[in-house]
Each structure stands twice: as C-alpha cells, then as structure tokens.
C-alpha cells in the first residue's frame, strides 16, 4: 500500500505511543521500577519501533530499539534509575520531533546518534546493588507538624534508594493522618547509614532491619487482563477490541456536523411553514400532517445531532496529560518542587474547545509555577510542605468547569494596585477605592505584571488578558479566587460544544444578526436624554453603574439611523464589564448551528461565524467581546467603568 495512505494511521498511533511513553517515564521517576509499568513502556517502544521500521523511518526505529534495550534491562530486574528518566524523556522529545518532520516533509532530519550512544552507555554501566530493608521510625510526642516531618523522612529514604511500601500511606500522611510511628519497606544503597540519616531532633528512634528479598512482583496482586483493560496481553482480546473501533478523520466529522446542522435548519423551516399554513387559512389537515412530519424529522435530527456531537467529544485527559511533564520541567528550571494532581480526566469536551483552551490553560499553569508556588525553603519557613500542589480538575455543572488551583502565595492585591498606579492605568484615588476583588481583576489588564523580574517563562504582563479573551472566544468565562499565603484558583466555565449555541437574533441596518446568549445579560431601552458622551464613547447609567453603549451600526459600517427617542440595547459582558450593544430590534432566541465563514470571507472583525435561520436567511454571529474591543479602548473602559 502507498506510504501516503499508511502515514495518517502511523502518525496517530505514534502520538498515542509517545503519550504512553511520556506518562510512563514520569511515573517511573515518581514511583520507581514496577513490573507492570515497565511492561507497558516496553510494549509501546516495541510497537513504535515495528511501525517505524516497516515504513522505513530508520532513525525512529533505531532510537526506539535502544529504548527497548534499556527497558528490557529494567524488566529483568535492574533498579538504578539515576539519570535514566531524563534520558528517556529526551528520547521521547526527539521522537516527537522526528514524528513532526515525517508529518511535514515525509522524512526524518533530526540526528539521534548521541541519544543512542547515551542509552548504550547506560546499558553498559554496572548495575547498582540495592538492599531490601524494613524501617521503623518513631517521632517524638512533641514533634510539630508530624505530617510534614514524615514526608521529609520519606524524601530522605527516596534519595537513598526506593521506597516500596509505607504505613500509613503517603496519601494518608498528606491528609495529616499520621501518628507517632512510620513503617517503611525499601531498597537502599547503604543500610548501615540509614539510622544516622533519618535521625534528628524530632525523631525518638529509628530501627533498620534486613527484609526478606522476595521478588517484587510477588507482593502485587495481579487482577488479570480484564482488570488491566487495554493493557491486556491476550492478542485475540486486543484484536477483537480493535475491530470494534475505527479511526475517523476530524474533517469528515466536521462535514457530518454541518450536514446535521442543515437538517436542524430544515426542521425549523418545516415547522414555520406548517404554522403559516395553519394560521393563514390553508389546508388545516395538511398543516397538521406537515407538523407531524416536522416533529418526526426533529426527533431524528436531534438524536443524530446528539450522536454526532458525542463522536466529537474527547476526554479532557487529552489536554491534562501534557501538564505533568510540562510542570516537571518548569519546576526544575525555577528550582521548585511541584506535585501535580489531576482530577476528572474522563470529563468530555468538544474537540474544538479542547484545542482552543490549551493555550490559556498552559498560561495559567505557567503562572502558577513561576509566580504562585514558593521555593521549597520559603514554603518550609511558612509551615507548608516543601512541594507545592498544583491541581487541575474538571467537572460538569451547566457546561464544563475546569479548575487550575495552586497552594502558593496568592495574589498580592496591594501590589497589583501600586503597579496599576505606576503604569498610569488608574489614578491613586481610583486604585484606593477598589475592593480586593476588583483589584484582582486588574491582572487581566494588558501589560500589567507584578513580577519582580522578567524571565523566559513570564513577567512581561503579556497573557492574562489573552487568557480571558481565549476563554471567552469559545463562549466561556474565567473567574479568579485568591487568598494571601493560601493560593489562587482559576475557574474556566466552558460550553460542551461550539457546534450549536443558543443565540438572540437581532436586526440592525435591515440585516439579522445572532448574539450568543451566553454573553447576553438583559435587553434595555435607554431614553435618548439619558445617553451621555465620555470621550468617544456613549454611556448611560443603569441601576447606579456607568454602562458604555456601542453602536453596532457604526462598528459594522451599516447605515446609521437618526438617533431615536429610545435606544434599544442588548447588554453583553466583556470580562467583568458590561456593555450595551445598540441595535434596531429583537426577533427572538433559539438554537443556531455555527458555521465558519470560510476562506473566501476570512476573518471579519467582530464576527465569529454565520448561521442559517429558520426562514433560510443567512445571519452573521456577532462576537460581543471583539465588537467592544473594536471601538472602546481598554483604558477608556477602565476609567468609565
């Protein structure tokens, strides 16, 4: 078969195996050598080697062959990991680069000889001998912060070898459920030195005893292939599982979604025709029959729509899985220790949203590691564990909520106020009037950063405004909660899908437009005598707050009507600010199928897409956030809001 036909499948499978390898190596680094994990890594390297070799990608095959050799050594009982996980992660990075080169140019360009030599050198290195021991540690009754002390003792043990078992478990210790005694089973380099290393003012006694050297696998209960799920070793089971699934190009799914959208529009048109027939004195029986047919078409279209939408959904694990490695590398560069906690990875989101929130999420994580979480020494002085905690979670609640939370410094709102004054964003008087909650909102102002120094990671004040804009671009919102010395939590509230949205249809300049209901707060009529000019902006006062008014006619260069006695305004949100969009009329609300504008029209300022209305007319879908930015400078908003 021609290479071009096999390449897409190879690339998709390579992505999956590289993800398995990266996640597995991180687990290896965190948890030590475990037979099942090593088998999984070996299997991925072996499969990738076979696929790459079959298609003639020699460098990928050579590198995975050497990785296979190293993993085989671990599989046969070798335990020393010093320097190995870094080397294996470097190999995964090189394989990703080669994969990208193959995808773009059909050939490998990156050299891998140095990595191959380093893997061979590790294989030749004499294996380190570790001695199995059992350790009993008793802390003093007056030991303060026993949980933190117990975790510190575990870190000492890990530096000396591998910790296989600890009672109470590490999770219980982190919850604070620890008494005076700690029991461990470990393999260490020098058992004789352990008692000295583990002793200290808070430790009453340390006992180190030789342990029976039973093979590690015997201590693990294997629940069999069914429990291991996709890691089954049974080739027949694997083959049958593969036959139940097919790979579908995402563009084909998008086309199916567009066709389903056409069905939804036709259903609405049939219903409108039937209602006109019934109310216009036409054949009543025919109208009822048409309504029945439209109702049936509606049920089928709704079911089909739900199934197609489901095929576009992906677990958020696809996005979360990149962060453990990313945080590990960031933390090392910053000299910090960070534990990543992932929750709700099976929550599903439309793949389009997953693709678009990756950047904003990456920025929030980068800020948490660089600005939020303190260095280990500072955390110890504050009575916190040395390692900071970064939690990424997702759950369903009227859409999807994604949480990025750290247990670091929190946002210093006084410092944010001072910085806003220094940058002339606010006057000192205006800054002093802000509540803490309002001051936190200033971090979303372009150019405002409280970082003491600019690093290659962050500190230029570029990004938080883009983060919020990125979340709003998919119809979501971003909230922030913070407490000094306790940490910061960002909540991204996202819709399940971008393909179909509820929208308000309005008229302006003789055309119809749709405004996503997720941005609409209310519709108000403003008497002309209550409209004022502040700079280039129209404003009014709504329930005691200044509300900027934006003319949709002027933004879209439509004929501007004489200013009426009363302005009809749709109040939408732009961040925490609300803005009134002046329109001619409101038609109603309902579901619309979002369609891209296509390459012919390209990007139209203030417009996010198009839709076909029930009467067959095409309406542009307005993007409230971008509309406001087109006309009102943020500086003006900061002063008038």
Strands (E), 353-399: 388-396
CA distances (Å), 149 to each of 174, 383, 456, 526, in order? 11, 11, 34, 64
- Rounded average pLDDT over 71-89: 86
Cis bond leading into 168, ω under 30°?
yes
Q: 139 - beta bridge partners? A: 203
Say what the pLDDT of residue 630 is. Answer: 64
Distance of CA 192 to the CA centre of its chain: 47
CA distances (Å), 359 to each of 297, 484, 609, in order? 40, 26, 21
pLDDT band at 442 (very low <50, low <70, confident <90, very high): confident
Structure tokens at 187: 């393999």
- Rounded average pLDDT over 331-355: 89
Q: Is 80 exceeded by the pLDDT of residue 164?
A: no
pLDDT band at 215 (very low <50, low <70, confident <90, very high): very low
In percent, how much of the chain has pLDDT > 70? 86
- Rounded average pLDDT over 476-489: 90
Say what the pLDDT of residue 574 is. Answer: 63
Return d(Cα 288, Cα 275) in angstroms, integer.
9
Give the DSSP H/E element, type plus range, for residue 540: strand 537-542
Give residue-wise pLDDT tens across range 83-103.
889 999 999 999 999 999 998
- Interhelix angle 84-105/3-31, rounded to 10 degrees, is 160
Residue with the larger pLDDT of the pair 248 and 504: 504
CB 137 within 8 A of CB 182: yes
φ/ψ region of 83 (left if φ > 0, alpha if ψ in -120 to 50, else beta) reads left
Residue 292, Cβ neighbours under 10 Å: how many? 11
Give residue-wise pLDDT tens across range 374-425.
999 999 999 999 999 999 999 987 778 999 999 999 999 998 888 888 888 8
Bridge-based pairing state of the strands 313-315 and 348-350: antiparallel
Q: Is 90 exceeded by the pLDDT of residue 67?
A: yes
Structure tokens at 20: 């398995």
Structure tokens at 209: 């005893």
Residue 527, Cβ neighbours under 10 Å: how many? 11
Say what the pLDDT of residue 641 is. Answer: 42
Q: Is 60 exceeded by the pLDDT of residue 226?
A: no
Residue with the larger pLDDT of the pair 601 and 147: 147
pLDDT band at 451 (very low <50, low <70, confident <90, very high): low
Residue with the larger pLDDT of the pair 27 and 609: 27
Q: How far apart are the first and last CA of the chain?
A: 64
Structure tokens at 526: 């403003």
CB 606 within 8 A of CB 588: no
- Rounded average pLDDT over 48-57: 88
Say what the pLDDT of residue 228 is. Answer: 35
Structure tokens at 115: 């990595």
Angle, alpha carbons 198-204-209 (nearest 5°): 55
pLDDT band at 45 (very low <50, low <70, confident <90, very high): very high
Residue with the larger pLDDT of the pair 501 and 150: 150
- Tell me the three state secondary structure of residue 453: coil
Beta carbons within 8 Å of 124's beta carbon, 6+ residues apart: none
Catalytic site residues?
Answer: 46, 68, 367
Say what the pLDDT of residue 460 is. Answer: 45
Give residue-wise pLDDT tens across range 277-293.
878 777 778 888 888 88
Give residue-wise pLDDT tens across range 570-590.
998 765 667 889 999 999 888
Q: 501 - beta bridge partners? A: 592
Structure tokens at 73: 């050594």
- Rounded average pLDDT over 619-638: 66
- Rounded average pLDDT over 225-246: 47
Say what the pLDDT of residue 244 is. Answer: 61
CA distances (Å), 371 to each of 205, 323, 458, in order? 39, 17, 8
Angle, alpha carbons 559-564-568 (nearest 5°): 85
Residue 474, Cβ neighbours under 10 Å: how many? 22
């Amino acid at each position: 078969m021609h290479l071009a036909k096999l390449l897409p499948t190879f690339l998709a499978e390579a992505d999956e195996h590289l993800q398995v390898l990266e996640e597995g190596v991180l687990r290896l680094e965190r948890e030590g050598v475990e037979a099942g994990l090593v088998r999984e890594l070996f299997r991925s390297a072996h499969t990738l080697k076979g696929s790459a070799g079959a298609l003639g990608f020699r460098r990928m095959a050579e590198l995975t062959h050497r990785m296979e050799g190293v993993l085989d050594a671990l599989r046969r009982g070798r335990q020393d990991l010093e320097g190995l996980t870094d080397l294996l992660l470097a190999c995964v990075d090189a394989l990703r680069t080669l994969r990208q080169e193959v995808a773009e140019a059909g050939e490998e360009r990156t050299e891998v000889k140095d990595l191959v030599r380093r893997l061979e050198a590790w294989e030749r290195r004499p294996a380190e001998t570790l001695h199995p021991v059992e350790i009993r540690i008793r802390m003093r009754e007056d030991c303060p912060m026993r949980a933190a002390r117990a975790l510190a003792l575990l870190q000492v043990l890990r530096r000396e070898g591998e910790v296989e078992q600890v009672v109470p478990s590490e999770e219980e210790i982190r919850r604070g459920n620890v008494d005076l005694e700690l029991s461990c089973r470990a393999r260490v380099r020098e058992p004789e030195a352990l008692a000295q290393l583990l002793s200290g003012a808070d430790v009453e006694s340390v006992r180190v005893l030789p342990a029976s050297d039973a093979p590690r696998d015997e201590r693990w209960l294997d629940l069999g292939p069914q429990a291991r799920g996709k890691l089954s070793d049974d080739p027949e089971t694997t083959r049958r599982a593969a036959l139940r699934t097919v790979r579908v190009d995402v563009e084909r799914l998008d086309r199916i979604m567009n066709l389903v959208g056409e069905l939804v529009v036709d259903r609405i048109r049939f219903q409108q025709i039937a209602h006109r027939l019934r109310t216009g004195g036409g054949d009543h029986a025919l109208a009822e029959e048409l309504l029945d047919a439209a109702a049936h078409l509606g049920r089928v279209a709704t079911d089909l729509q739900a199934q197609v939408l489901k095929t576009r959904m992906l677990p958020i694990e696809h996005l979360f899985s990149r962060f453990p490695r990313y945080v590990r590398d960031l933390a090392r560069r910053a000299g910090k220790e960070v534990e990543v906690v992932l929750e709700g990875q099976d929550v599903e989101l439309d793949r389009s949203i997953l693709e678009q929130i990756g950047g904003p999420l990456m920025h929030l994580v980068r800020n948490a590691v660089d600005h939020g979480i303190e260095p280990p020494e500072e955390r110890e002085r504050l009575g916190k564990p040395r390692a900071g905690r970064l939690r990424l979670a997702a759950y369903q609640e009227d859409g999807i909520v994604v949480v990025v939370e750290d247990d670091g410094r929190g946002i210093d709102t006084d410092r944010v106020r001072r910085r806003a004054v220094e940058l002339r964003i606010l006057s000192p008087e205006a800054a002093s009037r802000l509540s803490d909650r309002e001051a936190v909102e200033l971090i979303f102002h372009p150019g405002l950063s409280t970082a003491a120094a600019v690093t290659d990671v962050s500190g230029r004040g570029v990004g938080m405004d883009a983060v919020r804009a990125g979340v709003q671009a998919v119809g979501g919102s971003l909230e922030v909660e913070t407490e000094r010395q306790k940490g910061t939590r960002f909540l991204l509230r996202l819709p399940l899908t971008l393909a179909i949205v509820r929208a308000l249809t309005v008229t302006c300049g003789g055309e119809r437009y749709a405004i996503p209901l997720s941005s609409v707060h209310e519709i108000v009529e403003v008497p002309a005598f209550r409209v004022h000019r502040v700079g280039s902006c129209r404003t009014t006062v709504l329930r005691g707050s200044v509300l900027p008014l934006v003319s949709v006619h002027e933004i879209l260069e439509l004929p501007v009507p004489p200013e009426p006695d009363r302005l009809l305004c749709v109040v939408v949100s732009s961040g925490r600010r609300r803005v009134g969009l002046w329109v001619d009329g409101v038609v109603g609300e309902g579901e619309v199928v979002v369609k891209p504008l296509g390459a012919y029209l390209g990007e139209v300022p203030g417009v996010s897409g198009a839709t076909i209305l029930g009467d067959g007319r095409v309406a542009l879908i307005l993007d409230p956030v971008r509309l406001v930015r087109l006309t009102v400078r943020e500086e003006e908003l900061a002063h008038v809001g």
